[in-house]
Structures are given as C-alpha cells and as structure tokens.
Amino acid sequence: MDSRSATPVTSTGPGIPGDAPSIARVYDAATKGKDNRASDRDVVKAMTEIAPELPEAARENLEFVPRAVEAASKLGVTQWLNLGCGLPQVGEETTLETARRIHPGARVAYVDNDPSVAVFGRALLAVEGAMALEADARDVDTVLAHVRGLLDLGQRVGIVATALAHFWPDEQKPGEILRRYMAAFPGGYLVFSHARSDLLTADELDRLLTAYKRAADIYPRPLTTIRSMFLDGLPLLEPGLVEASTWRPADPFRRDVGRAHFVAAVAAFGSCAEAA
C-alpha cells in the first residue's frame, strides 16, 4: 500500500478546544521542542515547580526511543507501528529515519489522536512506506484495519508505545490493549516506557497530577505495577526495565532526571520471545 493513498482516520473524540493545552504539545514543550503554545508551556512550568528535573526525564525518554528502535531493527524488524507517536522534534530522528538507517525499505505506521499531530501526519502522506492515522490507540480494531496493507500482519513488527499507557486508567485494562496489538502479529518487539510514581511523595504526586490535568488525566504507576501490568512473561532485552537514560546509553554523561522517572524497556513477544 502506497502511503500516498492512505487516509488518516478521523478522531471520534471532541478535539482540543481553543488554546487548551494538548498532550502532544505539552510533551513537546517539556522536551524543548518548538511546536507548542503558551498554554502548554504553562503546564510544564507548573510541573517543574514540583519536580524540577521533569524536562530532563522527558528528554531522556525521547532519546531512548531511537536507541530501542535501532536495537530491534538490528534484530530483523523492518516494519513499525508507532502508537501515540506525538510530534517529531527538529534535530531528532523519527522512528522512520532510525529504522531506515538499518533497513532502507522499512515501513512505519504512526497513530495519534491529538489533532496537533495532524500536520505531521499530512507531511508523511508524501513519504512512500509511511502513513499516519488520526485515531485513538485504544481502538485496536480500527487501527489494525487501517494499517493492514502497509504493515504485513503475517510478519514480525516493532511496536512503539512510549509515554502512552500512563494516559490509560486501570479500568480500561491498558496492558490488555498492548497485548492485543502484539497478538495481531506472529512476533516482534515492544518498545515501551511509562511514568513512574513511587519515587515521589503522595503530596508531590497529587500536585503533579493536578498541574497536568489542564491537558489530560494521567496515571503514573509504581514500578512493580508497571512490570506486572505490561511486561509480565515477556523476555526483556538487556538491561531490562530501567530508567530511560540508562537503557543502553549512547553518552555516559547523562542528565540528572531526579525522581520523576520514565522507566523503559524493550520486550520480545511471540516468535521473537521464543528465540530470546
């Protein structure tokens, strides 16, 4: 399927009213991007008053992704499903760019329900082997129906779900959502990260959640819960589930991320788990 014939899925959500902050733009602001507004920067400012190193932690999470995509690509993955892809940053490799450094013919389907990401999606429609869907990643059937053709459901896949599942409450069974994506392919690797809660005091956590609520509800979780909810039974590439900056760092001089951690891992599933 040529990406130029792919049509983004229209989000069924209510959209982002006026100048209200958005998840994608707040993350962009936290990681020193350029595609954000004053309302997004206000959210980041309120959060950094509580957790000053939070932008550094977010930046480390951002930089974890290309290292993980490169590692899985070198293990043979040539197609990617990037869930909750967010906004690309100038000077940083996209999943497509990283994957194509290893496999020039790699294909990537990007998914995000944030209208702020739509401009990025429209640009991708001119790139053969890539497509963008404006859809909620929790709607597994819709996403899989639209990526079928660009992605071969009979071949191994890399699934990127970074800084995403902590926006899904427990009652939506976020671990099961990701397992459904994994079950749709014979095998592959899950590139995963999640905000960790248990290094913060109850008061710090409550204040952070309140500050972020202007953009969305968010559900950071304790390390043990993250491990059991999302990664139970899945072999992890070394070094396992760790703070993002320590996952195979390219630079030994890492940022101080304080206690507002993103934890990260690459998990093998299906036939790749059997071979791990």
| Angle in degrees, CA 18, 143, 166, rounded to 5 | 60
> Percentage helix, strand, coil, to 5, in the chain?
40, 15, 45
Binned at pLDDT 50, 70 and 90, residue 229 comes out as very high
Q: What pLDDT is attached to residue 8?
A: 39
Q: What pLDDT is attached to residue 10?
A: 34
The answer on pLDDT for 210 being more than 60 is yes
The answer on pLDDT for 90 being more than 80 is no
The rounded percent of the chain whose pLDDT value lies above 70 is 90
The residue among 208 and 116 whose pLDDT is bigger is 208
Euclidean distance between CA atoms 72 and 87, whole angstroms: 22
**CA-based torsion, 66, 67, 72, 74: positive or negative:** positive
What phi and psi, each to the nearest 5 degrees, are found at residue 63? -80, -15
Segment 152-203, tens digit of pLDDT: 999 999 999 999 999 999 999 999 999 999 999 999 999 999 999 999 999 9
Output the pTM of the full model. 0.91
The answer on pLDDT for 14 being more than 60 is no
Q: What pLDDT is attached to residue 92?
A: 83
Nearest CA-CA partner of 130 in 69, 81, 188, 191: 81
Segment 109-159, tens digit of pLDDT: 999 998 878 776 666 666 899 999 999 999 999 999 999 989 999 999 999
Binned at pLDDT 50, 70 and 90, residue 6 comes out as very low
Q: What pLDDT is attached to residue 124?
A: 65
DSSP 159: E
Nearest CA-CA partner of 161 in 226, 220, 111: 111
